[in-house]
A and B are shown apart, each in its own frame.
Chain A
Amino acid sequence: MGQMIKVGMADLKVCKEPDSLTTIGLGSCVGIALYDPVTKVTGLAHIMLPDSKAIRNNSNIAKFADTGIEELVKQMVKAGASKTRLVAKIAGGAKMFALSGSAASAINIGEQNAAASKKKLKELGIRLIAEDCGLNYGRTVELYSETGKYLIKAVGKPVKEI
């Protein structure tokens, strides 16, 4: 067993076998797991918002689905992954609170995050092979480099593997 490396909010990390990656408590954020099954180069991004172009303050590229995924792919290729072999799994994008009024638009961001992530993956020609998105609960995820296994843990629910 390697090390379990933590990915923070609006953060991304790349690792190689035998290490693994985790991010805690994805709410409306999305955890994008990319994996090269041959070199076992593994990457995880924890994005908060769908679109870097819609925001004035976009200095942290790991915060957004579009720039975050791009950067993750770049770092993985640098670490030895082949872009054409990459496969993706995504989780998160929940709606934690059902609010009304002006706060509501920001609350539906989960759905937008998941949609923007899929769009970017498609644009880059990366195959999305599994997802666990939406609903109303938080998810902690673990991504293993040996197998590309993506574990999803939620409060009061059995551990799910995608």
Chain B
Amino acid sequence: MNLDQLNDMYIDVLREIGNIGTGNATTAISNMLNLKMDMGVPKVELMPVEKLGEAIGSEEQIVVGIMLGVEADIDGSMMFIMDMKSAHKMVNLLMMRDPDDEKEFDEMDLSALREVGNIIAGSYLSAISTLTNLVISPTVPSVSIDMAAAILSVPAVQFGLMSDRALMIKTAIGGDGSIDGYFILMPDEESFAKILTSLGISI
């Protein structure tokens, strides 16, 4: 199995994985923050690793990236990326501060962001785990605030170790212009095959 064999059916299945995972995670954030949130249609993209830096728009845009490793039956990584405005809004809601406060994040705020990462990754992955019967566990999340290209270079390097291309399942979320972000799940090649097989698709 390799990424050259990626066909429309596989893409549909992966898109559905993104749908279920993001649906669950969006509900979790929505409940936690008491905000109405919408999600877009997931996109499954196979792109050259060199292009990953541009995957969510401008390379120089400053974003908040919450990253976790994915372990056990499948390997890979997961990222939740928000623009600065959304991250401030989210932290302010959690910390019960003025929603328009844009002070620099302190250690407590970063810890809150990591916790958000925990909750959304947990809900995203447990939905996929239930669907596929695979054991999927997230590692402790890490937060980085930087240029989009620098943040996305991290998964690019991980993919670069194995291949020239990266497979990502990307879903945009947003709600009343409040929190805009992306969920990105990036399974490695073997795990991608495992996900498909677990759903009874012969490859």
Contact = CB atoms under 8 A, between A and B. Distances in A.
Interface of A: 8-11, 24-29, 48-49, 55-57, 59-60, 63, 94, 96-104, 106-107, 109, 136-140, 155
B77 interface: yes
A10 B49 contact: yes
A9 B156 contact: yes
Contacts of B139: 99-101, 103
A137 B146 contact: yes
Chain B contact patch, size range: 35 or more
A96 B161 contact: no
Which of B49, B146, B151, B162 is the most central at the interface, judged by chain A CB atoms within 10 Å of its CB? B146
B67 A99 contact: yes
6 contacts: A27-B154, A55-B160, A63-B160, A97-B65, A104-B69, A155-B145
Given A26-B150, A48-B49, A99-B142, 8 more contacts: A10-B160, A24-B149, A27-B152, A48-B160, A96-B151, A100-B139, A101-B139, A104-B69
Contacts of B151: 25, 27, 96, 138
B147 A57 contact: no
Contact of A25 (B49, B70, B150, B163): B150
B50 A136 contact: no
A67 B140 CA distance: 35
B144 interface: yes
Chain A residues touching B, majority SS: loop
B144 to A, nearest CB: 5
A29 B144 contact: no
Interface in B24-76: 49-53, 59-60, 62, 65, 67-71, 75
Nearest to B75: A102
B157 A25 contact: no
B158 interface: yes
Contacts of B69: 99-104
Which of A27, A56, A107 is the most central at the interface, judged by chain B CB atoms within 10 Å of its CB? A27
B71 A102 contact: yes
Contacts of B113: none
Contact of B147 (A28, A98, A140): A140
A102 B59 CA distance: 27
A24 to B, nearest CB: 5
B161 A27 contact: no
Given A27-B153, A94-B150, A99-B69, A57 B164 contact: yes
Nearest to A11: B50
B161 A9 contact: no
A9 B49 contact: yes
Given A48-B153, A155-B62, A97 B144 contact: yes
B100 to A, nearest CB: 20
Interface in B111-148: 139-140, 142-148
A137 B154 CA distance: 12
B113 to A, nearest CB: 13
Contacts of A25: 53, 59-60, 146-151, 153
Nearest to B140: A100
Contacts of B158: 103, 106
Contacts of B68: 99, 103
Contacts of A10: 49-50, 160
